Amino acid sequence: DGGITQSPKYLFRKEGQNVTLSCEQNLNHDAMYWYRQDPGQGLRLIYYSQIVNDFQKGDIAEGYSVSREKKESFPLTVTSAQKNPTAFYLCASTTPGQGGQPQHFGDGTRLSIL
Amino acid sequence: AQSVTQLDSQVPVFEEAPVELRCNYSSSVSVYLFWYVQYPNQGLQLLLKYLSGSTLVESINGFEAEFNKSQTSFHLRKPSVHISDTAEYFCAVSDSGGYQKVTFGIGTKLQVIP
């Protein structure tokens, strides 16, 4: 079955450390997204990519970086500059440009500080 | 700019009772509307969507939502809830542009009481 795979499910970060969250999809979707979810705040967009080798900052991009070298993959790096990284991170994908296409989500990575 | 307001952060309801989860949106352009459901430690799953046509949309598990343009609302209803409906529900609005920026509400936790 097609879907989005996020790994790892749980991740711990030490002070000053960069960590990378993986997101892989086999839905042949062009657009991919990263969201951060905090209790009571809904989903906030970190980065998005509409096509390979191109990505754009979302609403809360500071302290994060991404790459999009392959259509299937959109890894997110949480850098040491992100001072409050503890959250649930969700990756999503969709087919852009067709109006009203829902986003498909992975099962998330929960990041905590050691 | 578009925004979504979910008026209730938590809704407790007894099993087999009806429920309504409220959602209001604002946007300066035509929009598409969605309801997603999230079970603990999982990603979001599409519950139903309104793109055009009939203002009443239904899901396969008994939920329905009605698009009301004059009141800019998209409330979610179910006539009789089950324990398995306990989850967090997110209302979302998407514009009709090529990028399809999606704005999510902060979520409503539905707690079904046996």
Is residue B98 scored above 60 in pLDDT? no
- Total residue count of chain B as it appears in this document: 114
Is residue B29 scored above 80 in pLDDT? no
Chain B residues in contact with A45 (beta carbon < 8 A): 101-102
Q: How far is B54 from chain A (nearest CA, A)?
A: 15
Alpha carbon separation from A40 to A7, A74, B44, B58 (Å, rounded): 24, 26, 15, 27
- Mean pLDDT of all residues in B90-96: 87
Mutate to test the interface with B, among A105, A109, A112 (most CBs of B within 10 A): A105
Instruction: Return the residue of A nearest to B90 by Cα.
Output: A42
A96:B98 CB<8 A: yes
Of residues B2 and B1, more confidence is placed in B2
Residue pLDDT, tens place only, A55-85: 999 999 999 999 999 999 999 999 988 889 9
Q: How far is A16 from chain B (nearest CA, A)?
A: 27
- Mean pLDDT of all residues in B70-90: 96
Cα dihedral A66, A91, A111, A36 sign: positive
- Give yes or no for a contact between A52 and A69, defined as CB atoms under 8 angstroms apart: yes
How many whole angstroms separate alpha carbon B79 and alpha carbon B73? Answer: 19
- Give yes or no for a contact between A66 and A49, defined as CB atoms under 8 angstroms apart: yes
Q: How far is B1 from chain A (nearest CA, A)?
A: 13
Chain B residues in contact with A10 (beta carbon < 8 A): none
How does DSSP classify residue A103?
Answer: P
Residue pLDDT, tens place only, B48-64: 999 888 889 989 889 99
Of residues A71 and B96, more confidence is placed in A71
How many whole angstroms separate alpha carbon A4 and alpha carbon A106? Answer: 5
Residue pLDDT, tens place only, A10-48: 999 888 899 999 999 999 999 999 999 998 889 999 999
Q: Nearest Cα to B50, choosing from B64, B29, B70?
A: B64
B43:A90 CB<8 A: yes
Is residue B23 scored above 60 in pLDDT? yes
